[in-house]
């Protein structure tokens, strides 16, 4: 196995572990009965992109993209 294949294998393992931890840190999507009455429209709901939850969502998206790219590269057998 070439050195580059080892690097990608270690990278996909690390990305998988970090992605699992980040996903578990996120809150659930269930709004409960507050969403029906409009109580879900709060300051944190409006500024979600600037909050920690917004950061976690963006970071998760980046990790998923990295995971798929590394998985495709490993399956192509280029090295």
Q: What proportion of the chain, given as a percentage, has pLDDT over 70?
A: 72
Answer whether 0.85 is exceeded by the pTM. Answer: no
Q: Tell me the pLDDT of the chain averaged across its residues.
A: 83
Rounded to an integer, the average pLDDT of 15-32 is 85
In terms of Cβ atoms closer than 10 Å to its own Cβ (0-12, 13-18, 19+), residue 22 is middle
């Amino acid at each position: 196995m070439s050195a580059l294949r080892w690097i990608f294998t270690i990278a996909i393992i690390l990305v998988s572990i970090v992605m699992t931890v980040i996903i578990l840190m996120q809150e659930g999507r269930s709004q409960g009965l507050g969403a029906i009455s409009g109580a879900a429209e709060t300051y944190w709901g409006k500024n979600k992109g600037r909050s920690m939850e917004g950061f976690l969502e963006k970071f998760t998206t980046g990790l998923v993209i990295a995971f798929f790219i590394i998985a495709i590269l490993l399956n192509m057998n280029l090295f």
